[in-house]
Structure 1
Amino acid sequence: MSPAMLALGAGAVIGLALGALGGGGSVLAVPALIYLLGFTPVAATTAGLVIVAVTSAVALTAHARDGQVRWRTGLLFAAAGIGPAVLGGALAARLPDTVLTMGFAVVAAAAAVRMLRSGPVARGPVEPRPGRAAAAGAGLGAVTGVLGVGGGFLAVPALVGVLGLRMRAAVGTSLVVITVNALAALSMRAGTADGLDWAVIAPFAGAAVLGAWDGRRLSAKLSGPALQRVFAFALLAVACLMLLDTVV
């Protein structure tokens, strides 16, 4: 199969994840770029951020039109996490790849277990709490900086479990965080964009954008608890695969 066809297929899957679940794009994009399309880890991380930034921004507009974005909470999360993300990125440069991979897997598994064990999400309107949003956003930014991902797979559980947002609102609001985090990370990676294969990245991103629209429609058809379970099991699968990769 040609690289362009592989890029289209992988992009569609990642777009569905971002559109329906508000996360998982970075988790899927980087391995796809490395193992399916032959990118180096550095190039894959940069290309993945481009793809996730574009796709999450497009998906965000659709969720905003549906009234499922809590802008104040999302912007507080994003703003509070920028500084810790930079510091986390500096720390990551000093850690072995195996430690980072295992840390990523453990955090993903913990987030999944928390979502599976949590009770019903809030049904009524939730008033944003600036202090809790800022604290959770700073913690999320630090972990995002260390692990090098957009952060949606952690933002959704935090928005549901810490701030009590309904699942659909958490999905939409997490896209604010993902977009800002991805753009901030890209601003620090300008030197790694040289030599990227845009003939692969462009169809990858295009398919992801189309997939995100379908994912948004899918999220409207499923109940909040169903989305929460799908998201949690997806995280557990990723965590198990990454743990196996470190020990095999």
Structure 2
Amino acid sequence: MSVVLAVAALPCGLVIGVLLGALGGGGSILAVPALVYLLGQSPHEATAGALIVVAVGAVTGLACHARGGRVRWAAGAVFGLLGTAGSFLGTRWSAALDPTALMAAFAGLMLAVAATLLLQGRRKAREQKEAPGRQGRQEAPGRRERQTSGARRYPARIAVTASAVGLLTGFFGVGGGFVVVPALTLVLGLEMPVAVGTSLLVILINSTTALAIRAGTGALDWPLLAGFAACTAVGSYLGNRLSARLPASALTRSFASLIAVLAVGMAATAIPRL
């Protein structure tokens, strides 16, 4: 690994880690374009290497959220294990796809993520405006029971969502937190901070499963990935600490705008070569 690549890996890893720790996902989607366009990896190498970066960042963020009691281990483990079949299929399909087509598809994924994050940001902004009117209200009777029984009431929906997340992880080398967090909130009824923490457990399970499937399929630049992942771990810790001090809606909107710009650039590069 050259000195230039080592220096380039530092800020990339830090930014991805900060976003992963602050948002519980989403930041990992920058790993693949960073590895391809800044660090010279092939698309297939990047989607495999990104899984290592995602897993390391998820471990760091998970440890921080666990200390704060924001992880539901049973729900996260079940959700993650249900996605292993999708992860297997996604990994196989990705390996058989033309590299240029893979990057074009990744650009489409990034646009979808940007739209999703913008919608989430608007919803969070509305909730913040409505929060003063809800102060002093007691938690509705049975709310905790509804949260813990979500998995029993919607088993098919959870299985489909978990499989889709696993498919995305295996195919694109991303954590899928942008799908996991709203799924844990809407389907299982978890509060947003708990959903963010629990999503990191799901991301860890999906990424390690996809990485195990890819083992032995090609050579990886381990020194480069180790440095990248180490910076991601540091950034994830910082992002977790900053999440309580930065406006979540503003952070989400800024990140979504960045993803959209990158997606347009990737599409403009890949589509003409199809």
Q: Under a length normalisation based on structure 2, what TM-score does the superposition of the two structures give?
A: 0.77
Displacement after TM superposition at 1:69 (Å): 0.8
Higher mean C-alpha displacement, 155-164 vs 91-100: 91-100
Q: How does 1:31-110 map to 2 (within 5 A)?
A: 31-92=33-94, 93=96, 96-97=101-102, 100-110=105-115
Which of 267, 271, 274 is 1:246 aligned to? 267
Contact 2:54–2:174 (Cα < 8 Å) also in 1: no
C-alpha distance 89-229 of structure 1, shift in aligned 2 (>3 A): farther
Pair 1:203 & 2:227 matched: yes
Displacement after TM superposition at 1:23 (Å): 1.0
Higher mean C-alpha displacement, 201-210 vs 232-241: 232-241
Contact 1:46–1:193 (Cα < 8 Å) also in 2: no
Displacement after TM superposition at 1:147 (Å): 3.6
**Corresponding residue for 1:230?**
251
**Corresponding residue for 1:111?**
116
The separation in 2 between residues aligned to 1:109 and 1:94, in whole angstroms, is 24
**Corresponding residue for 1:167?**
192
Contact 1:76–1:133 (Cα < 8 Å) also in 2: no
Which of 21, 27, 32 is 1:19 aligned to? 21
Pair 1:187 & 2:208 matched: no
Contact 1:112–1:235 (Cα < 8 Å) also in 2: yes
Higher mean C-alpha displacement, 101-110 vs 48-57: 101-110
The separation in 2 between residues aligned to 1:19 and 1:128, in whole angstroms, is 27
Contact 2:32–2:47 (Cα < 8 Å) also in 1: yes
Displacement after TM superposition at 1:229 (Å): 5.1
Displacement after TM superposition at 1:110 (Å): 4.2
User: SS at 2:148's partner residue?
Assistant: coil
User: SS at 1:188's partner residue?
Assistant: helix
C-alpha distance 245-171 of structure 1, shift in aligned 2 (>3 A): same
- Aligned partner letter, 1:205: A
- Aligned partner letter, 1:3: L
**Corresponding residue for 1:129?**
150
Displacement after TM superposition at 1:180 (Å): 0.6
Contact 2:17–2:234 (Cα < 8 Å) also in 1: yes
The separation in 2 between residues aligned to 1:101 and 1:86, in whole angstroms, is 18
Contact 2:36–2:42 (Cα < 8 Å) also in 1: yes
The separation in 2 between residues aligned to 1:99 and 1:12, in whole angstroms, is 26
C-alpha distance 138-216 of structure 1, shift in aligned 2 (>3 A): same
The separation in 2 between residues aligned to 1:199 and 1:141, in whole angstroms, is 27
**Corresponding residue for 2:127?**
120
Q: Under a length normalisation based on structure 1, what TM-score does the superposition of the two structures give?
A: 0.84
**Alignment length (residue pairs):** 244
Larger Rg: 2
- Aligned partner letter, 1:120: E
Displacement after TM superposition at 1:58 (Å): 2.0
Contact 1:160–1:166 (Cα < 8 Å) also in 2: yes
- Aligned partner letter, 1:138: S
CA offsets per residue over residues 172-208 of structure 1, 9 Å max, x none? Answer: 11100110111011011112452x2223222211111
Higher mean C-alpha displacement, 63-72 vs 128-137: 128-137
Displacement after TM superposition at 1:112 (Å): 2.2
CA offsets per residue over residues 99-123 of structure 1, 9 Å max, x none? Answer: 6235413531442244145363999
